[in-house]
Chain A
Amino acid sequence: MSSGIARSFSWGVVAAGLAFGAGVSRDAGAAQELRIGFLAPTTGIFAQVGKDMTNGFQLYLDEVKGDFAGAKVKFIVEDEEGKPPVGVRKVEKLIRQDKVHMFIGGLLASTGYALAPVSTRLKTVYVASIPAADDLTQRDSAKFPYLVRTGWTSSQPNHPFGEWACEQGYKRIAAIAADYAFGHEVVGGFQKAFEACGGRIIQKIWPPLGTIDFGPFLPAIKKDADAIFTLMVGPMSLQFPKQLASAGIKKPVLGGGTSYDEFVLPSMGDEVIGHVSALQYSAALETPQNAAFVKKYRGKYGKVPSYYSESNYTTAQMIHEVMKRTKGKWPGAQQFVKLLASVKLETARGPVRLDEMKNPVHNVYIRKVERKKLHGYDKDELWNSVIKTYPNVGQFWKFGKNEFLKQPVYSRDFPPCKHCE
């Protein structure tokens, strides 16, 4: 009965298919191996940013030849595609299959909110080097004992920025920002500080994340605003100022740090000159440490490092610092978190230490886009020139921790737009 055999055979294939992958798991390696899982979007619209993230970490690893005080670093990069559920699946893989000691990264704030609970559930260290979701180290901090942030909270640089905007004499500002957690928190932080010193946010426009045609949004910007506050990410950053310029809008533009980040700055033109943004890093910082970092990075990858590169480079540096203290031995997840939270370092972005909620306290730089020569490069280029430094800014700014934590997390509707017209 040949048909029977053929049938059985194909059903056998079914069985094999369903059982595919069974029994594929790798052993935990030698004792002196430090396995680090790294999540970055390497495909999709955020691929360029993902590359900057990976390169930053890789640069440090190459500098120390993959050796953290005797521990050989095994660096495993997974593509999270800029999507929270994909990030969760990749972390499951990193922890369960690769048995990583910690995982680092994720890009979007929403990915951060999705990954942190996984670190709690699977009792694995999560170093949030990029996701800036406020509540990870604020109201929800207690839920995530295995989380350390080496990046920033979305609102952190925008608190001093709001105050700075007041000092410039701006009274009425229109906000236009990407419609997701990060955008809400950046605008929220700016609004809170700006309105605390007498300014008014007169409208908020929320184009969806990933918008590249701002045609429907630009005409809505109030003509009588003193300035525009904007927050763009990924490919949005490049398109917004261009379309703003060609729409003939000549108001001063203030922006969240990622709007003018170096990952996109070299592709921008004269339309962004004079735009001001706030962040804890600028490639134009003229400290010896940063100049050396920029040169090394540019020499190797052919482009100026962005904050995405710097943050992950610094994260690698901080992890190395912990491993130095433990002499290359893995101290266990809880102890590692404790040690990492107590690291104090001079880094490319300036002095960094972590507060008691495991979020960095660092300088915030107000940066203006200028075309000039810097770091000894002989061509005129766009740089985020630092025009003011707010030293050692924490996530609660001058509002006081307890006061601050009493208010809800910044969102689309908080702070309420009292002065919206």
Chain B
Amino acid sequence: MKDGHAPRRKLLIVGAALLAVLVITPFSGSYVIVLVTHALIFAILAMSLDILLGYTGLPSLGQAAYLGMGGYLTAILATRYQFGLDWTFWVVVALGMLIGAATAAFFGLFAIRATGVYFLMITLALGMCVWGLAYRWNSVTGGDNGIVLPPRPDFGIQLADDLTFFYVVFGFFLASLVMMTILVGSPFGRSLVGIRENELRMRILGYNTWLHKYIAFIIAGAFGGLAGVLWAHAHGLVSPEDVILATSVDALLMVVLGGPGTLVGGALGAGIVVALREYLSTLVPWWQYVLGGVYVLTILYLPGGLMSIPERVRRWRAQSRGAGVEKSLESASH
């Protein structure tokens, strides 16, 4: 049963969900606004990782590195040079993406030659290098103290207002989603999927698979840097704790939870993880078990993540209907 309207319907539903977030959030408590903002920023990070994990088949454990680079750049420019606190905020956004991309371009030279577990380990090590820099390079990063940022930028629009900041972050999220969707739908994106499915075949077909992966890695780094710029301003603080392995793992799990290779899955995962981590943790002390349980169950029973549920339901229904038809045939023959 081919459904020709599926893409349009999918678009419609994602649009409706995003609209719901946009409409409901302003009317909820100020803490919820902050949480949704955090979730949206992490959604950008998770989606950037999904390009690698879901589309290219590269499980990276170093995505926090780009978040850190973007965040520290923002903080250092803001505190040392008072740069990026007016309209230059947009310059910082561009610089943040650039530094994320540049870092990825550098790291990619080491990481892209490996695949599978080896890729995982190399990206982990590279991510820890950035953490080490943040923690040890006291004169620049403030070491363990991190850097406290001045109030958020004001360029006619005052980002210091949490609701305004939410709208801006939402805008960035939407733009990232659109750009990445276009990217994965493009011929370039299709060849990434090809590499994921069978790299050898792609190479034999004449594709420069290394270059494809390298470019995907850089693009993911750029969006990671963007998430970093926003994260620094959302928190008003960058700290080595933002760059630790746990952040990278969180991003990876968000993607796995939502469903790799779907983009919106990463966003969904980010929403759920942030909600559990920030909200449940204030209610019960054993919230980490809940989060762990959710991860384990997803990986065991939903390898395709939450986004694979509709597909599964459809298949299950088709199956039971098929079984029903058989049964009725059986009863008729008796």
Contact = CB atoms under 8 A, between A and B. Distances in A.
Which of A15, A180, A209 is most buried by chain B, counting CB atoms within 10 A of its CB? A15
Given A92-B31, A121-B236, A11 B148 contact: no
Interface string B286-315: 001000000000000000001101100110
A11 B146 contact: no
Given A4-B9, A93-B278, A114-B239, A21 B35 contact: yes
Contacts of B17: 11, 14-15, 18
Interface in A181-218: 181, 208-209
- State the main secondary structure of chain A at its contact with B: helix
Interface residues on A, range: 35 or more
Interface stretch (A52-60, A77-85, A257-265, A317-325): A77-85
Interface string A1-33: 111101111111111011111111100000000
B177 to A, nearest CB: 12
A117 B145 CA distance: 13
Contacts of B185: none
B285 interface: yes
A198 B281 CA distance: 52
Nearest to A140: B148
Contacts, number: 169
Contacts of B310: 3, 6-7, 9-11
Contacts of A13: 306, 309
A4 B281 CA distance: 36
A109 B143 CA distance: 12
A96 B148 contact: no
A355 B82 CA distance: 33
B314 A114 contact: no
A179 interface: yes
Contacts of A25: 28-32
Interface stretch (B49-57, B207-215, B263-271): B263-271
Interface of B: 1, 3, 5-6, 9-10, 13-14, 16-18, 20-21, 24-25, 27-32, 34-36, 38-39, 135, 138, 143-146, 148, 151, 235-237, 239, 241-242, 264, 267-268, 271-272, 275, 278-279, 281-282, 285, 288, 306-307, 309-310, 313-314, 317-318
A113 B145 contact: yes
A23 B317 contact: no
Interface string A103-123: 000001110011001100100
Contacts of B267: 18
B179 to A, nearest CB: 20
Contacts of A79: 281, 285
Nearest to A178: B144
Contacts of B24: 19, 22-23
